[in-house]
Amino acid sequence: MQKIAYYNSPVGQILLASDEQGLTGLWLRSDRFYADNLAKDHQLGKNKYLDDAIRWLDLYFEGKNPKFLPKLHLIGTDFQNQVWLALLEIPYGEVTTYKKIAEKVAGRADHLPIRAVGSAVGRNHIALIVPCHRVIGSNGNLTGYSGGIDKKIQLLQLEGIDISKFSLPANYK
């Protein structure tokens, strides 16, 4: 049975979900895949996984590196899980590129699944904790955040990243 909780953050309301194995979801209200793996029979409630995630978020939004990881239950294909595990290796306050993640998961340089990596990053069900906001384009573009570029910018700035060195999408105001 999935339990859910809501968290009010500086980037808007967050929906958290967990099952008996760990945290299964963390979505910003603006996420284009909001609650896409939420069970229909979920219940509002509490458990240790939600409590740990809320503690993590409290520290994060205080501008601190939480330095612990709540127990996660990543639900996806083998490839998606590889990509999400690679995201977990991106240090707090740093960014990487879709290309570097593709090199890591492909294990070879002659075939880089950059678009597939982008798709898997976008389907990340546990935003912030699995830090998809720390991925940028190889040319320094701030691109590809399902919660919205404005939220990506806020999160990167919260981590002390100087976004002035990155390019904003042409349609960003």
What is the pLDDT at residue 114? 87
- Please identify which residue in the block is written with the tokens 């509002």: 44
Closest CA to 131 of 160, 170, 89: 89
What does the pLDDT read at residue 123?
Answer: 93
CATH 3.30.160 residue ranges in the chain? 3-61
Does 155 qualify as catalytic in the annotation? no
The reported pLDDT for the residue numbered 67 is 94
Residue 165 scores a pLDDT above 80? yes
From-to residues of CATH 1.10.10.10 in the chain: 78-165
Architecture category of domain 78-165 in CATH: Orthogonal Bundle (1.10)
3-state helix, strand, coil in the chain (%, to 5): 35, 15, 50
Contact 46, 3 (CB under 8 A): yes
Q: For the domain with range 3-61, which CATH number is right: 3.30.160, 3.40.1350, 3.40.50, 3.40.390?
A: 3.30.160
Catalytic residue (one of 86, 105, 127, 132): 132
Checking if the pLDDT of 41 tops 90, the result is: yes
pTM beyond cutoff 0.75: yes
% of the chain at pLDDT higher than 90: 75
Mean pLDDT of the residues in the chain: 92
Label residue 138 by pLDDT band (50, 70, 90): confident
pLDDT at 113: 86
Average pLDDT over residues 126-134: 97
Sequence letter at residue 23: L
Q: How many CB atoms lie within 10 A of CB 18?
A: 29
For 141-164, what is the mean pLDDT? Answer: 91
